[in-house]
Amino acid sequence: MAWFKQLMFGIGVIVTLDVGSLPACASSSRPYDVVEQFAEVLSVIEEGYVEPPARDQLSEGAIVGMVGALDPHSAYMPPDQYEDFRQDTSGKFAGIGVEVDLRNGQVVVVSPIAGSPAEIAGLTAGDRILAVDGIPLETLPLTDIVHRMRGVKGTTVRLVIRRQGKPNALTLNVVRDDVKLPSIYARYFDGRIAYVRITAFQEGTHDELLLKMGALKSHLGACRGIILDLRQNPGGLVTESIAVADEFLAKGALFSTRHRGRVIEQVYTTGYGYFERTPLVTIVDSGTASAAEIVAGALKDRKRSVLVGNRTFGKGTVQSIIDLPGGAGLRLTSLRYYTPAGFGIQASGILPNQVIVSEQEQASDILRESDLPGHLPSEGNATTDLHGEPSAPANDREGQPCEVPKPLISLTQRMSQLPSAPINGTDAALTFAYRSLLQQIQ
């Protein structure tokens, strides 16, 4: 019986782990030396520390340090963090449903999600949120601000906002409700090429893809080609990425996982994909990670799609999620991902067939897996094309490297601003993908 039952991802990936099927680790001559050392240190602290310490706090700190010493993606999660983690992987949570951004130290509403409590309460793009439940926001990080707006379904959060054109601050009482973030944005270019952006692989992404592509087809007819945009996609539920990849690939290998050099699971596509014969070009960048890299790597390895953009993030490990007593959780790196051709994604990433580096990526320090302290080493080659294919920067008409603009914070807004034909826009990667598809279908 295969132990691999489910793959998911939060910023890492979640799997159900059957520990008994993994190889037993080598034991030292005295396996309890470390336990004795821990007990000795604990005893010294309890007897000699300047103030009486709390034993539960000490033990939790020891666990945090022990797991954190492994790699950047292994972590002990206390109950509150574990609950947030579970909500993030589902893409569904109780909140007000609003996209916000920090601009010049102010929390600005980018866009309320359609049909969300925020939209119903009257929050609009451009509003500045000054306080949440009486707490000023100017000194809080964005993650804390978002966390304060989430809460129990049915409870009320009081927002103090400043709106342009209004002399006084406004107070809005917003009742929290379940909020489902969309993960698929789809539209047609010139009525013949579908543009599909997947922002993350969360619960329902595969169904959402089929629904939105079906809606496009019912209004505009069948598409002649597809641009699959995986830029800034941090991954998500691997079960959903498998289902999405299955729609684009014929029957064959999708990826494999290995534990300490031994193949644990080989995952295949079924060959019943709805779009497996439709011409396809895929866009990736340095923010394409984990489950999204699985899809990109398979599409390239099996020569199903030309990859356009920048080398991907390089998160090629699987995290097992283990429930602990008291509502806590353990995220433990347990496997490595490999593409169908057997190349390791970890710390190497996937290099596109056609490299197009954005202006922002050229001007700033890009953070990839290989930059994280304590990351697991690469088993591939991050500096050359992993598949032995020539890869050179795409050039514009003046012979300079193409520049891809940084995506807008609001994807809804970004989609509405796309021209009817990318050739008329400024997104070089999208323009290249569009031209490539035109050559395939003409």
The active-site residue, picked from 183, 290, 334, 436, is 290
Active-site residue identified among 127, 246, 285, 301: 301
Eight-class DSSP state of 89:
H
Tokens of 255: 């990826």
CA distance 392 to 352: 9
Q: Which of 315, 320, 334, 348 is catalytic?
A: 315
User: Active site includes 111?
Assistant: no
d(CA 14, CA 203): 13
d(CA 142, CA 190): 39
Cα-Cα-Cα-Cα dihedral sign, residues 102, 103, 105, 110: negative
* DSSP secondary structure code for residue 401 in this structure: B
How far apart CA 339 and CA 257 sit, in angstroms, is 9
d(CA 111, CA 126): 8
In contact, 248 and 225? CB cutoff 8 Å = no
Cβ-based burial of 167 (10 A; exposed 0-12, middle 13-18, buried ≥19): exposed
Strands 170-175 and 156-162, by their bridges, are antiparallel
Least Cα distance to 111 among 123, 120, 121, 103 occurs for: 123
Separation of alpha carbons 265 and 102, rounded Å? 43
Q: How far is Cα 298 from Cα 292, in angstroms, rounded to an integer?
A: 10
> Catalytic annotation on 301?
yes
Strand 225-229 to 280-284 pairing: parallel
Cα–Cα distance measured from residue 246 to residue 240, given in angstroms and rounded to the nearest whole number: 10
Q: Which residues of 92-107 are buried (b: 16+ CB within 10 A; e: fewer)?
A: ebbbbbbbbeeeeeeb
Output phi, psi for 2, to 5 deg.
-70, 135
DSSP 32: T
SS3 309: strand
Alpha helices, H only, 3-141 = 33-48, 55-68, 79-90, 117-121
218: left (phi over 0), alpha (psi -120 to 50) or beta: alpha
Does the annotation count 218 as an active-site position?
no
Report the catalytic residues: 290, 301, 315
